Amino acid sequence: MGQQISVKASQCIWERLIAAAPAVAPRQVIALDPAALRGCGLSERKSEYLLDLARHFASGALDPSCWAGMDDDALIADLVKVRGIGRWTAQMFLIFNLLRPDVLPLDDLGLQRAISLRYCAGRKASRARMKKLGALWSPWRSVATWYLWRSLDPVPVEY
């Protein structure tokens, strides 16, 4: 919902969605007309993605009760089966929602930039170089990622 828009705009859309589907439960979201989702501020494409996500939960294809026992790669593989969820989105979910401590989002532009500045004298870091550095930070690669992001913009983010 919040991809490529401001935190403030995302919060406004979220509040409208809660007004339309107070429990934000999969079956409640599925019952909404696509026009109602767009009325919340979601684009047509994001509405399609949200409905597909809700269908995955409603059918049991995504089962949060299994997630604690799944390793990161298996969980990412399940999440990317949902339209609109790619590897980067799944990794952000693991880092920010599931608080997984050892996720290294190699496709994240902020991480790439921070590694370039902090470890490669400003030159673009190769994927192999990033993986090699990441191996040094395991099992705390998510934490290293947070610090590297903060190194780019040390001012706290307001939500």
Give yes or no: residues 54 and 22 share one domain.
Answer: yes
Domain span holding position 96? 63-100
Type of residue found at 68: A
Residue pair 3/89 in contact (Cβ under 8 Å)? The answer is: yes
129, HSE (Cβ side, Cα atoms, 13 Å): 13
Within-domain flag for 148: yes
What is the rounded distance in angstroms from the CA atom of residue 111 to the CA atom of residue 153? 12
Give yes or no: residues 82 and 128 share one domain.
Answer: no
Closest CA to 104 of 77, 60, 140: 140
Give yes or no: residues 55 and 67 share one domain.
Answer: no
Residues 6+ apart with CB under 8 A from 135: none
Active-site residue, selected from the candidate residues 72, 78, 102, 108: 108
Residues 6+ apart with CB under 8 A from 80: 86, 87, 90
Give yes or no: residues 94 and 124 share one domain.
Answer: no
Residue 108 annotated among the catalytic residues of the structure = yes
pLDDT of res. 2: 78
Type of residue found at 56: H
What is the rounded distance in angstroms from the CA atom of residue 115 to the CA atom of residue 147? 11
What is the rounded distance in angstroms from the CA atom of residue 159 to the CA atom of residue 157? 6
Residues 6+ apart with CB under 8 A from 19: 40
Burial class (CB in 10 A: 0-12, 13-18, 19+), 103: buried
- Per-residue pLDDT 10s for the chain (159 aa) are 777 888 899 999 999 999 999 999 999 999 998 999 999 999 999 999 999 999 999 999 999 999 999 999 999 999 999 999 999 999 999 999 999 999 999 999 999 999 999 999 999 999 999 999 999 999 999 999 999 999 998 777 666
Number of domains in the chain: 3
Query: Which pTM was predicted?
Result: 0.86
pLDDT of res. 159: 61
Give yes or no: residues 118 and 145 share one domain.
Answer: yes
pLDDT of res. 155: 75
pLDDT of res. 158: 66
Within-domain flag for 158: no
Give yes or no: residues 11 and 50 share one domain.
Answer: yes
Within-domain flag for 157: no
CATH code of residue 27: 1.10.340.30
